[in-house]
Amino acid sequence: MRLSLLALALLPLPALGQSFPQAFTHRYGETLLPAAPERVVSLGYVGHDNILALGVVPVGLRYWYGDNPDGVWPWAEPALQGQHPIVLRGEVSLERIAVLDPDVIIAVSSGITAEEYAVLSRIAPTIASEAQYGDFTSPWQVHARTIGRALGREAEAEAQIAAIKARFAAIREDHPDWQGASGIAAYLWAGSPGAFTAGDGRVEILQDMGFALPAALATGSSFFTEFSSEDLSIFDTDLLVWINAGDDLAPLRNLTLRKTLAAHREGREVYADYLLAGAMAHGTLLSLPWTLDRLVPQIEAAMDGDPATPVSSAAEAGLAP
């Protein structure tokens, strides 16, 4: 039976300029992907963003957090193209994944164990995190590039990576005073202040703009570290970005020593609310442009050298001096 023109148009296009099989070396060994996949399961907590950015809608994706019914955040919703992937919530269900009949399971930044990898690999070729990075700290470019190659869309991934890197370069050029200035992404959870460390995506965003991370946060085995509320000296940086503190901002507003920081007195605090904090945490081809649209104007207001300039995000959160 001959296919209609419409049916032909809906057939997946072959990968251009990229041959298969493709080999992926990762923390659990090597995975050989024989052909460009059509049915993709995304097990990484944010990997579906990069898959969607490259024009592929996964048949199943891993739920991270939030109240989004399809498991994706606002910046990624249009890329679903009206489709509704199966959302995999809670612990990895090997049975549910098997039912999806995937051609590939992309598990970069998923935290799967060696035992889970062994079982998943019997369902479909499975790509885990690169050996040189932690479970959840693959740089955004590496993450996107791996997914692009797995989908047979490496050239498109490289084009989007280049566009985002060019935007960061333009931000650095437009803001020479930011270059080398100290910047920190801080939080207050359950009454304990802390900050994100080198390798975390939120920190990478600030570094890609030219900000320098304090030396005390430049190393460590975790992507965050906690401090005593009785000593906030590490927070006294040129730029202080507070990451979403939840619905009750009173503990952050009333954090006594915060008000002694020069960053507070001089209006150099920025507050990343629920959506902006989520976008910064995702660090993907879709979330990074969305983040920069909203974060850069806030930093410009904070870093203009005039304490009287309002930083709207801090003012709305009740953090302004």
Q: Which of 220, 230, 224, 221 is nearest to 184 (CA)?
A: 224
Q: Of 128, 161, 194, which marks where a domain is finished? A: 161
Per-block mean pLDDT, blocks of 10 residues, the chain (321 long) = 32 58 96 97 97 98 93 97 95 93 97 96 97 86 96 97 98 98 94 91 96 87 82 93 92 94 96 97 97 98 96 96 89
The CA angle 18-23-28, to the nearest 5 degrees, is 150
Residue 166 placed within a domain: no
Give the pLDDT score at 220. Answer: 66
Tell me the residue range of the domain where 73 lies.
Answer: 17-161
pTM score:
0.90
102/49 same-domain check: yes
Tokens of 77: 């919703």
Give the pLDDT score at 190. Answer: 83
The length of the chain in residues reads 321
151/206 same-domain check: no
Give the pLDDT score at 5. Answer: 30
Give the pLDDT score at 8. Answer: 31
Q: Are 119 and 128 in contact (CB under 8 A)?
A: no
Domain of 128: which CATH number? 3.40.50.1980
Q: How far apart are the first and last CA of the chain?
A: 73
Residue 183 placed within a domain: yes
What are the angstrom distances between the C-alpha of 235 and each of 228, 246, 257? 11, 20, 10
Residue type, 78: P
Number of domains in the chain: 2
